[in-house]
Each structure stands twice: as C-alpha cells, then as structure tokens.
C-alpha cells in the first residue's frame, strides 16, 4: 500500500506531484491523502490534479482531455465521474493554516481522518517564503523600514508546519524554503538557526515546559552532503539544493530540510548529480509564437512591422552596438515571420521533439499544448527584447543596462540608480540558450522582463507552459485561473521532477 502524504502550503502541488509520481516496480510508493492550500486558484489546480490521479496511470478518462481542450466545463467533468471528484475534493482542501475559520482542532481532525490508522507517513510542504527571499526582503526594508519587515506575520508561518509536526509526529518530513532564509534575521536572531532548532525539538518549541517530559526529537539531514561535522550536524549551506545539478533545466537554489525521527539512525541517501539540461532541450519543441502589441491595435502584420522598425532605428546604428551584433540583428530581422500566432490555452503541438525528459513531460493522449499563450508588450519593449536576445547570441550572456544603447533604456526615474547598482542592473534578462534558465519565480506573473525567450524572432517573454517545463511540470498538468495567476502558481512551486528524486530518498528510509 502506498504510504500517506500530508502536503501543507501545497500551492499548485509540485512537491506532491513528485511524491505521487514515484512508482518503484510500477506501483505508487506514496499517496497524497490531504493537501492544504489557501489560494483559491492554486487550490483549483490542486483539485484538478487530485482528480486526475484518482485514475490508474495513463487511464485518465477522455473527458479530462476534453476539459483541457475547452470542450466541456469543469463541472461537467466532475459530474461524469462523481466518485473520483468526491475523493479529489476530500484530498485537496481549500483552507488557510492559521486562518480564523480553520482553528488547529479542525486542521488536526482532517489530518487524523486522512491518515486513519497509518503510522508510517510523510509530511511535506513549504511555508510561504516571500518574507525571506533576498529581493522581497530588500524591497520591504527599503520601502517600509526594518520595523515593518520584522513585524511581517509571514515570519511565523513555519510555526503552523511546526505545530503539526509536534502534534502528529510524522516519521519523516520534508520542508522547502528559499535560500535567503540562511541570511534572514528578525530582531537580531538568525531565522534559519531558530527554525532548525525548533524542528529538531518540536515539542519544546510548541508546548514549552508543559510537554518537556516527553521526547520527540528529529535529526535534519542534507540531501546533498554526507554526514556533516563530527557530531553529524550539517552546516546551513549543506541544506541548499541546486536544482540544475539534478537534471532540472533551471538554476534554482532552495533550502530543503529532510527531518527524520532521531531514533531512526539509518543512513539516508543523497540526490544523484546529473548532466545539466539547457533551456532549449525542454522548450524548443513547443510551437513558435509571436508576442502581441499592447496599447495599440495588434495583428500579425502590425506586430511584424513594429519589429522591423529596428532596421532603421538609431540605436542599431549607434556606437553601443558592435559590428557582430549589428550583423546578427540584420540577419535575424529577415526571419521575423508574420504567420506566427499568439497561442492559447490549448494549441496544436509543433513538429519538433523534446530533447530531455521526454517520458516525464509528454502524454501521448494529449495532442496539444496547454497554457501556451503569449503576453502583449509595448512597442519599445519589443525592441528591447529583440536586442537582449540577439546580444546573448553574440556575447553568450544577458546584457546589463550599461550594455544598452541609450535609446533603449527604459524611461524610469530609477534607471540612473540601477545603472550604478549591480544588484538590479539586469532589468531585462534573456534566458540564454546553452544553459539552464535562471530561477523561475512568482515575479514572472508581474511582467516578462526577466524571462525573455532566447529566440529573437519570437520577440517575447516565456509562456506559462514554457515556465512550467522549466519547473518540470508534466504537459498534462493544467493550471487554472487567469494567465497572471497561472504564472504565479508555476513560479511558487517545487519542481516535481526534483520532488520525485527526494521521494526516492524518503522511500528508502521506509524500506
């Protein structure tokens, strides 16, 4: 029987998807019994995937694919399979840990009901991390001051996870957070060391002297470094997992803590390093698309004409553009194609074949690409996107603002400051071919400036599906809600393919 998994702060379900996908010998090793998420649209995504997993592997009904294609509404899909829909509803719970409507007693009852009599189970999840991220931290402190940052209630969200450990005492837990946690301080206290100490001694941290006679201790082990110091204790940096070293086509560095009951002294495995996967190996097979024109009429020819204006632009002929780049731009402009469309929620696939992780991504029953629709950009941004992607082809890096021709610099008040500040000097960033992408974050929902496609002739930012590929979501994983919210869900998730590798290590702890 598959071991139960409880997923907290589940988001769209990346961590849970990885655990669900582990099938040693063909049978699932784990089953999500309960996933909890407060965002309504992420919950809809989570619930739909829970429904999909109620069916045996590769046996989802045709109606599921009809829903992805927009042929039937969600309600009709669930009505056709009421038993599976009910189980999905029980599994994916729209609830807020710490919310007024969801007191601890209610949360605990749902967890006990989900686990039944099973004692060998796993707790997984990643408490929201925006308060710890380097960018989020600097923005809040810079805009509102240190006192406001230290008063941010998100610092305490991990305690809901901690309380559930203390009450339900899972044999194993997996907790994910941003690397910025290593340097985060609140009231002069290092947050990582505080969280680490609390997780190692959850009863003491949650209940204090009232439960001090009881013993519940965990050891936190690294997924990438063996043992640690002479006492078996790892350095904080040892908990950082660099996803690009494990087959994920993205340079994503996250803290991942694997907690095991201290009485279990079994040696745990490590993630196995793999050849790095460049971005084009997972997105070049997707249909080529054009961006749209915003704040003016948009059609294929108008878009092409806007891009071709580059040929006569002052910036192309100025001193900041070297001869090699100028020749490259002129060559590429001849390839700009007005026949490209902008994609959509469900578009026909391209003719190319994906190069990496084909069996993981593709579903032979899915004869289309989901969530593959481009954004619109203002005309000057089209020129900027073309410039940065062409620049990368020549110089093998994304340009900094100081590399931009003056005519292409954005007319923001803080551009001069950014030119001097190396931290935010890459305001327009192309995802360079030949290497893993940079970290896909929830910021991709704001604009596409940090996630520009490496092909200048498409002149656009990445689509939701391309971002999902970089996050290693299978192609039949559908993201609900408006496009902005789809981006947000993808950027906040744990890569499922990395999660499956973590699940393998957890599986061996039990076996």
Q: What is the CA radius of gyration of the chain?
A: 24
Fold classification of 3-214 is Rossmann fold (3.40.50)
Domain extent listing, the chain:
3-214, 280-488
Q: In the chain, what percentage of residues exceed pLDDT 90?
A: 82
For 398, the token pair is 């994304």
Alpha helices in 351-478 (DSSP H): 358-361, 379-395, 415-420, 464-470
Site of tokens 């000057």: 380
Question: Could you tell me the pTM of the whole model?
Answer: 0.93
CA distances from 66 to 249, 374, 476 (A): 30, 22, 12
Q: Are 220 and 247 in contact (CB under 8 A)?
A: no
How far is the C-alpha of 441 from the C-alpha of 451, rounded, in Å? 10
Q: Report the pLDDT value the prediction gives residue 132, as an integer from 0 to 100.
A: 61
Task: Give residue-wise pLDDT tens across range 282-323.
Answer: 999 999 999 999 999 999 999 999 999 999 999 999 999 999
* pLDDT for the residue numbered 412: 61
The 3-class SS string of 139-202 reads HHHHHHCHHHHHCCHHHHCHHHHHHHHHHHCCCEEEEEEEHHHHCCEECCEEHHHHHHHHHHCH
Length of the chain, in residues: 511
Task: Tell me phi and psi for residue 195, to 5 degrees.
Answer: -65, -40
Residue 489, phi then psi, degrees to nearest 5 = -60, -45
Integer Cα distance of 475 and 287 in angstroms: 13
Q: What is the pLDDT of residue 141?
A: 43
**In contact, 41 and 13? CB cutoff 8 Å:** no
Strands (E), 38-120: 92-94
The 3-state secondary structure of 413-448, one letter per residue? CCHHHHHHCHHHCCCCCECCCCCCECCCCHHHHCCC
SS3 8: strand
Report, as ranges of residue numbers, the positions in the chain whose pLDDT lies below 70: 129-155, 212, 227-232, 412-425
Indicate the SS3 state at residue 97: coil
Among the listed residues 180, 155, 127, the one whose alpha carbon sits nearest the alpha carbon of residue 11: 127
């Amino acid at each position: 029987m598959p071991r139960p998994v409880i997923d907290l702060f589940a988001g769209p379900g990346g961590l849970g998807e990885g655990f669900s996908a582990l099938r040693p010998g063909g049978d699932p090793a784990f089953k999500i019994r309960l996933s909890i998420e407060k965002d309504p649209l992420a919950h809809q995504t989570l619930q739909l995937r829970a429904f999909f997993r109620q069916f045996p592997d590769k046996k989802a009904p045709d109606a599921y694919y009809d829903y992805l294609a927009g042929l039937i509404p969600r309600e009709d899909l669930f009505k056709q399979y009421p038993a599976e829909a009910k189980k999905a509803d029980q599994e994916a719970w729209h609830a807020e840990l710490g919310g007024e409507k969801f007191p601890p007693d209610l949360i605990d009852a749902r967890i006990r009901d989900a686990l039944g009599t099973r004692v060998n189970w796993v707790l997984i999840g990643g408490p929201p991390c925006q308060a710890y991220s380097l960018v989020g931290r600097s923005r809040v402190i810079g805009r509102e001051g240190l006192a406001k940052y230290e008063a941010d209630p998100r610092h305490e969200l991990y305690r809901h996870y901690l309380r559930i450990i203390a009450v339900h005492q899972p044999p194993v837990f997996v907790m994910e957070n941003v690397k910025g946690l290593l340097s985060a301080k609140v009231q002069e206290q290092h947050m990582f060391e505080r969280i680490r100490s609390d997780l190692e001694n959850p009863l003491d941290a949650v209940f204090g002297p009232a439960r001090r006679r009881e013993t519940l201790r965990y050891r936190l082990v690294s997924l990438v470094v063996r043992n640690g110091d002479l006492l078996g204790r790892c350095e904080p940096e040892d908990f950082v997992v660099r996803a690009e070293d494990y087959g994920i086509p993205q340079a994503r560095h996250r803290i991942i803590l694997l907690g095991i009951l201290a009485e279990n002294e079994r040696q745990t495995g490590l993630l196995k390093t793999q050849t790095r996967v460049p971005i084009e190996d997972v997105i070049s097979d997707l249909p080529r698309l054009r961006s749209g024109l915003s704040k003016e009429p948009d059609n294929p020819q108008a878009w092409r004409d806007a891009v071709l204006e580059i040929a006569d632009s002052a910036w192309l002929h100025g001193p900041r553009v070297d001869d090699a780049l100028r020749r490259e731009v002129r060559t590429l402009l001849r390839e700009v194609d007005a026949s490209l469309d902008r994609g959509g929620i469900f578009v026909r696939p391209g003719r190319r074949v994906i190069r990496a992780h084909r069996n993981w991504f593709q579903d032979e029953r899915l004869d289309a690409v989901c969530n593959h629709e481009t954004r619109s950009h203002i005309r000057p941004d089209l020129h900027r996107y073309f410039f940065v992607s062409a620049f990368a082809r020549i110089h093998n890096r994304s340009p900094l603002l100081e590399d931009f021709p003056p005519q292409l610099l954005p007319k923001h008040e803080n551009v001069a400051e950014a030119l001097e500040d190396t931290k935010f000097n890459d305001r327009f960033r192309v995802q360079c071919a030949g290497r893993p992408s940079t970290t896909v974050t929830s910021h991709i929902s704001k604009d596409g400036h940090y996630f520009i496609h490496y092909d200048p002739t498409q002149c656009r930012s990445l689509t939701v599906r391309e971002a999902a590929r970089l996050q290693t979501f299978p192609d039949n994983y559908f993201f609900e809600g408006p496009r902005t919210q789809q981006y947000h869900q993808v950027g906040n998730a744990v890569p499922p393919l990395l999660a499956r590798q973590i699940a393998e290590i957890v599986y061996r702890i039990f076996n």
